[in-house]
Amino acid sequence: MTQPIIRSENLSKRYRVGGAPRRHADFREAFDNLLRAPLRRLRSMRIEPSCEEETFWAVRNLDFEIAPGEILGIIGRNGAGKSTLLKILSRITAPTEGRIELRGRVASLLEVGTGFHPDLTGRDNIYLNGTFLGMRKKEIDRKFDEILDFAEVERFIDTPVKRYSSGMYVRLAFAVAAHLEPEILLVDEVLAVGDANFQRKCLGKLGDIAETGRTVVFVSHNLAAVQRLCRRAILLRQGRIADQGPVGDVVKEYLRVSAEEVSVSQFRTDARRGTGWARIIDTKLVDDDGNAIGSRACDQALNLVVDVETTEGHGTQTLRGLVLELMFVSDEGHPVTSVMNVDDGAAEFPSTNRCRLRVRIPSPTFMPGRYRLGLFLGIPFLQHVDDIDNALSFEILPPEMPWRPYELHPSRGVVCVKAEWECEPNPSLTRKHEETVGGRQ
């Protein structure tokens, strides 16, 4: 049986949480405190914190194994313990309890330019970083041209890296870590800095690294990239392993838990205006079973329920002729789109005093993020009967089954669209090729 290259047993890390240190009353107290400091440090290494001292377990009782050549994905919400785990694996910090076994040379890319000196040139930092990884100069010389080609910073290689853009910085840092042949590569969300072309190159390089028998531990919120690269994943929740196994199953569990943790959206009428003879009395985002929810994956349809009725004193008036408009706005306040109940005469109000409208927006819907819903009831450009800003707030989650190998990110827009594609050879090139072949015959 193949021996794991990484093994974690009961791995735990505790941090102390406290306020600002108390200021000394006078010089004598400060001098006394200085003399006692070494003894206190020695005692703190041997005893547990007092019950009065608040502690925080960043990771707790982690047990897992990683096989040589495996790309393991680690996912979880912010604060789940992902970065702390990688810092322990990279020996930046030591565990409080448990043990970790690493069988091989480790390279880590935990932040943009980790291990780089800002005043040194890109060339100097390649050799400096390689030395940190235990590489000899001949090994670095052999890989130098490949690193430059991948990072695409040849023109600025003799410029101090403090003058690099964040994109140039991360390209060079990733190129060094990926090309200097560590047995274990730790990657923590740094690819989010690069553009789409760079992300594609990096993901391809991580796949190539695994094919050579080296191991990658990949932390990312980009679930599409995790599912593309990894066969197995670990889900961390509040510092503990909530799930581990096949990547598809773990991602589904992560999305399920994320949806549960988002509170149900509450209908709000703080910003309401209009004549008021009819009112929107309730609005909900619901799942396929009609249960109120606060979030929805972007590859699932958006279902909303809106209740409308005339108010007291207007018993002779009905809802007939009114228009209901739903306006979707990004969390930054940018309009996304709107729909009306009279679009193609879809659901015009009947001659009644009360009505419930069910609205379904087919998937895919919006890019992952938070959105707000505005409501308008009346006759456009003529009469505002009930107008509500920020009536509902909800969250769009990443897709359950990603169809794109790269992250769906708001920088690419706010609406998810799937196009129908067809690829055929260029007819002119085909004819030219056929004529060339025929002439040779």
What does the pLDDT look like over 238-248, one tens digit per residue? 899 999 999 98
First to last CA, the chain: 57
Q: Rounded to the nearest 5°, which phi and psi values hold at 145?
A: -65, -35
- Count CB neighbours of 401 within 10 A: 12
Domains and CATH numbers, the chain: 6-20+28-260 (3.40.50.300), 271-402+407-412 (2.70.50.60)
Supply 357's token pair: 């409208």
Please give the radius of gyration of the chain, using alpha carbons only, rounded to the nearest integer: 29
Return d(Cα 285, Cα 295) in angstroms, integer.
8
**Residue 235 · residue 90 · CB < 8 Å:** no
Q: What is the predicted pLDDT for the residue at 433?
A: 54
In this predicted structure, the answer to whether residue 203 has a pLDDT above a threshold of 50 is: yes
Q: Are strands 71-75 and 232-237 parallel, antiparallel or unpaired?
A: parallel
**340 band by pLDDT with thresholds 50, 70 and 90:** very high
Residues 85-140 pLDDT 10s? 998 998 888 999 999 999 888 877 776 556 688 899 999 999 988 887 777 888 88
Q: Would you put residue 390 in left (φ > 0), alpha (ψ -120 to 50) or beta?
A: left
Residue 410 identity: P
Angle at 369 between CA 363 and CA 370, to 5 degrees: 105
CA 170 distance to own-chain centroid: 18
User: DSSP secondary-structure letter at 368?
Assistant: S
Query: What share of the chain has pLDDT > 90, as a percent?
Result: 30
Residues 52-71 pLDDT 10s? 457 889 999 999 999 988 99
Residue labelled with tokens 């996912």: 75
**Residue 234 · residue 74 · CB < 8 Å:** yes
In this predicted structure, the answer to whether residue 21 has a pLDDT above a threshold of 60 is: no
